[in-house]
Homo-oligomer: A and B are copies of this chain.
Amino acid sequence: MAESTRRRPTTPGALTDAEYHALARFRFALRVFLRFSKDAARGAGVTPDQHQLLLAIRGSDSGPPTVSDLAESLQIRHHSAVELIDRAVDADLLARTTDPDDARLRRLVLTSRGADILEGLSAVHRDELRRFHNDLDPILTELGG
């Protein structure tokens, strides 16, 4: 064990070995979760980005979202959201509807095919997140969260 990488911190604000371990274990758990999620999406016949798009629409807490709402939810640029939505409409995963109060505004809703795929993916993600939460809690507690 190299002394220089294992010693206790001696400068203010420096991290303990336990904190470095906790940060590394957190990122490992996150990578395992994200790999699970991507594999699950592909196994259900959609891309990981399409899965996140379906979830952002169904999980919106203010009704069917606009393209701008989705760009914000997905933390992507507007033109990237437009392209992602166009491909998902072509794949019969979602459809555009007109806002009842503003005919210029389009809102996105899931098709029954999109809703069915999302339901299956969400059920397995709920289970996986319960495991992730159990792994995460002692790690984040170590970091004082």
A68 within 8 A of B: no
* Interface majority SS (helix, strand, loop, mixed), chain A: helix
* Copies per assembly: 2
Residue of B nearest to A112 (CB): B4
Give min CB distance, A57 to chain B, whole Å: 8
Instruction: Using A24-B60, A75-B31 as known contacts, say yes or no to A134 and B145 having CB atoms under 8 A apart.
Output: yes
By size class, the interface of chain A is 35 or more
* Chain B CB within 10 A, most for which of A5, A56, A144: A5
Q: Is the CB of A133 within 8 A of B145?
A: yes
A80 within 8 A of B: no
Q: Is the CB of B122 within 8 A of A145?
A: no
